[in-house]
């Protein structure tokens, strides 16, 4: 059973008008107030590291319950001991058989090979360690695949929407990158090296196979996302279009698909902001490419414990690819504009389309760049440095439904506690949505 990973320390941000008043005085406040009257509420600095993707728990994982394909995400999960031990025994048998096969596969005579295998089996079984889990950076989802693939017992899993624990979230880019790299590299390592779609070992049902396939497929999106991000740059500098024609047939094929897809996405995720998920889906391209390269080169993926304390400093060196995309796109737009103004472009419609295309790419890159420069407000830093904070963490492990009111400031104390109670009441009334969970895996 997996429950939402609810973070109690998410930065709540600052209203745009108040933020501009601190930067530019009364005039800034007026500009911010007017802008919000036009476009709606705007919050600066809220959850800069995408630690609040309700999209995953409330939409993706919970809607896998019908297919018995909701998988474990590590923390805030509960496993039946019998199920885990049965999975460990199956893995133990596979390990013994694989080790024996590795030493006997070159023997051509069947009788000799079988005799040697029988002689080796007790010795290999004695030397192979039985562990209730796999030493793997993504042992959570791997264990879920083992349990779901047990055709004899058909263990069931469920995404339980109620919040049962409160946790600490990554508060700096370095910690966040370590966590996300483990997610990506671990999943890709399972995909390429464990052959989970082999029906002889993992007897997953068709819906389960499709659900796990979409999970792993999402980490391969870095390949075509990279093409998507550099296509406007190539066109603006060279004039080589990403499609053969911007003619009427193209729009007749593209627009119906795009509109129907957007409507389906909107209704399927009603009440949840989808932009953060889309932006992160594009902006993670460099990290996922690094994870893919690590796995394809066969490097060992080590399990580094995610730091629990905020690492100080600015981490722009971690987002150099995103900065490069922004600068190249802006430069290309300026260059393309000069070419159009000089009359050197026969059909300016391609340039107009790439203006919007490039703007979307830039908008997707900027949140990650700003997150690399993010530092908590002074009041929040004082709260983080308060000597009572470790005691609060210890209390959270014993009282998962309670936070001390009034501790340090509103983000750690009363306001966060009130938000938890308010969202818990909403979940009682609307069981389709739970309070803010944590990031796990990007499936979109």
- Report pLDDT digits (tens) over 169-218: 777 888 888 888 988 999 999 999 888 887 777 889 999 999 999 999 99
The two tokens of residue 92 are 């133990």
pTM (whole model) above 0.85:
no
- Of the pLDDT bands very low, low, confident and very high (cuts 50, 70, 90), residue 407 is very low
Q: What is the CA radius of gyration of the chain?
A: 26
Q: Measure the CA–CA gap between 8 and 31, rounded to whole angstroms.
A: 32
Residues β-bridged to residue 2: 77, 159
pLDDT at 309: 66
Query: Looking only at Cα atoms, what is the longest distance across the chain?
Result: 90
* Contact (Cβ atoms closer than 8 angstroms) between residue 287 and residue 178: no
pLDDT at 156: 92
Share of the chain above pLDDT 90, in %: 22
Q: Measure the CA–CA gap between 5 and 74, rounded to whole angstroms.
A: 9
Confidence check: pLDDT of 411 > 80: no
- Of the pLDDT bands very low, low, confident and very high (cuts 50, 70, 90), residue 394 is very low
Q: Measure the CA–CA gap between 71 and 163, rounded to whole angstroms.
A: 17
The two tokens of residue 366 are 């900027």
E strands, 135-258, are 166-167
Q: Measure the CA–CA gap between 107 and 234, rounded to whole angstroms.
A: 56
Q: Report, as an integer, the average pLDDT of 278-294.
A: 91
Share of the chain above pLDDT 70, in %: 81
Query: How crowded is residue 381: how many other Cβ atoms within 10 Å of its Cβ?
Result: 13
CA 425 to chain centre: 27
Query: Residue holding tokens 């406007």?
Result: 232
């Amino acid at each position: 059973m997996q429950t939402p990973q609810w973070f109690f320390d998410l930065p709540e941000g600052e209203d745009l008008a108040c933020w501009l008043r601190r930067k530019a005085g009364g005039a800034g406040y007026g500009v911010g107030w007017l802008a919000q009257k036009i476009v709606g509420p705007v919050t600066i600095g809220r959850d800069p590291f995408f630690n609040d993707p309700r999209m995953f728990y409330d939409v993706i994982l919970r809607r896998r319950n019908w297919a018995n394909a909701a998988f474990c995400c590590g923390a805030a999960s509960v496993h039946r001991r019998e199920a885990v031990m049965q999975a460990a025994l199956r893995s133990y048998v596979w390990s013994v058989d694989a080790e024996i096969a590795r030493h006997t596969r070159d023997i051509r005579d069947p009788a000799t090979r079988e005799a040697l295998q029988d002689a080796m089996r007790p010795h290999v079984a004695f030397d192979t360690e039985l562990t209730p889990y796999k030493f793997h950076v993504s042992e959570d989802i791997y264990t879920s695949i083992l349990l779901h693939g047990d055709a004899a017992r058909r263990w069931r899993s469920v995404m339980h929407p109620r919040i049962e624990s409160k946790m600490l979230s990554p508060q700096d880019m370095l910690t966040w990158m370590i966590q996300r790299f483990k997610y990506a590299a671990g999943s890709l390592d399972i995909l390429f090296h464990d052959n989970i779609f082999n029906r002889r070992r993992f007897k997953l049902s068709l819906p389960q196979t499709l659900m796990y396939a979409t999970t792993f497929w999402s980490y391969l999106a870095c390949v075509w996302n990279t093409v998507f991000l550099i296509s406007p740059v190539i066109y603006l500098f060279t004039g080589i279009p990403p499609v053969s024609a911007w003619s009427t047939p193209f729009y007749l094929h593209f627009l119906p698909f795009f509109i129907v897809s957007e409507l389906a996405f909107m209704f399927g995720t009603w009440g949840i902001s989808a932009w953060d998920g889309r932006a992160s889906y594009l902006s993670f391209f460099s990290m996922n490419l690094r994870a893919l390269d690590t796995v394809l080169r066969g490097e060992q993926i080590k399990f580094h414990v995610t730091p629990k304390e905020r690492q100080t400093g600015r981490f722009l060196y971690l987002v150099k690819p995103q900065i490069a995309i922004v600068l190249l796109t802006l430069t290309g737009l300026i260059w393309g504009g000069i070419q159009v103004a000089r009359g050197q472009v026969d059909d300016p419609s391609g340039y107009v389309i790439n203006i919007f295309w490039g703007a979307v790419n830039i908008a997707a890159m900027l949140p990650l760049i700003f997150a690399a420069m993010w530092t908590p407000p002074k009041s929040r830093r004082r709260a983080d440095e308060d000597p009572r904070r470790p005691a609060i963490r210890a209390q959270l492990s014993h009282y998962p439904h309670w936070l001390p009111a009034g501790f340090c400031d509103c983000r750690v104390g009363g306001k966060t506690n009130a938000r938890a109670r308010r969202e818990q009441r909403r979940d009682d009334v609307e069981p389709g949505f739970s309070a803010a969970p944590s990031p796990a895996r990007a499936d979109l």
